[in-house]
Amino acid sequence: MHLYFASQWILFFFLYSFMGWVWESCYVSLKERRLVNRGFMHGPFLPLYGSGAVIVLFCTMTVQDHVVLVFLLGMAGATALEFVTGVVMESIFHVKYWDYSHQKLNLKGYICPAASLCWGCFSVFMVYVVHPPVQSAVLMLPERAAAAAAAVLTVGTAADFILSFREALDMKQLLAQVEKTRQQFRRLQDKLYQAAGGMTVMDKVHPDKRMEKKLFGRAAYLEKIRTGRRMRAKHLEELSAKIETVIKGSLPPKLSGRAAEKWRQDLAEIKENIFREFQKMNERSDRRYLHIAQMLRRNPTAVSGKFKETLDELKKIINGKQ
């Protein structure tokens, strides 16, 4: 059993984070049939794997002569880490960056028996096959060199994590805005219908077909986002025009006095809400949508209970299915 310096633990963390990134990127790339830079961050590191490896090493340091205990302790430690990480990330971002809901006996989609068994197998493979040469390489480094390498990797990865964290918060905010807009559209139509005394005031809005030439990648994604904006703007403009038509027309039957005043107030409120929706649409930049695309490309299995409809729509756009 070896006692490691803090810098050596940090190097183990980064080495296994990198190995986890290689494994996940290869697996997901084959599954998606395209190159995927897997993970929460931009760089070639998956901290969940690095943290899991460190926890496995720490938990099994005194039992490495017992393969069954290595399997069980490694499985328990890594599963607990995966569960806590999943809960914390969803509570912050309202998005699950991995989801086992389709697996049997899963716990809220964060963990499942199949994944836990894989963690146990990985623990045994790591402790007896992978770690010995990794340990030898790290222990060969002079203490100062190990400390310097650990410091550089920590600073660089911290910067990447901060950037990725901000982008994830930005995605959460944008998903919330789009979801709110979607609901607001429905409420506006319902209110206008009620304010008009039950008369039909909205026609179906047909899609705006401007993509005459075939676009790919980023250009296609942004064009689809902009087409969606134009459709929503057209929808809002038509709502506003309908309100003007209703206001200038005669009052609905049986409306007079306070009821008539309430009717006009409802219409004025709808017009104000339409103006606010135009403002919100103008605040959503292409840059924010590109951040979402990058995040979802790195995490194609991401799901959201709170923003399911909006997230599914964006994933379809990114994958060229809409």
pLDDT over 90 for what percent of the chain? 38
Q: Using 50, 70 and 90 to split pLDDT, how confident is the model at 288?
A: confident
- Which pLDDT belongs to residue 208? 47
Tell me the mean pLDDT in the region 110-138. 95
User: 3-class SS at 120?
Assistant: helix
- Which pLDDT belongs to residue 199? 47
Tell me the mean pLDDT in the region 56-82. 93
Name which of 15-19, 135-139, 180-184, 214-218 the model is least confident about: 214-218
Q: Quick check: pTM over 0.75?
A: no
Residue scoring higher pLDDT (57 or 220): 57
Tell me the mean pLDDT in the region 60-86. 93
Question: What's the rounded Cα separation, in Å, for the pair 294 and 42?
Answer: 9
pLDDT at 212 over 50: no
Q: Which residues of 286-309 are buried (b: 16+ CB within 10 A; e: fewer)?
A: eebbebbbbbbbbbeebbbeebee
Question: What's the rounded Cα separation, in Å, for the pair 73 and 58?
Answer: 10
pLDDT over 70 for what percent of the chain? 72
Query: pLDDT, tens digit, for every residue of 242-266?
Result: 666 666 665 555 556 676 667 667 6
Helix (H) or strand (E) segment spanning residue 206: none
Query: pLDDT, tens digit, for every residue of 264-286?
Result: 676 677 667 766 666 666 666 67
Residue scoring higher pLDDT (166 or 238): 166
Residue scoring higher pLDDT (282 or 113): 113
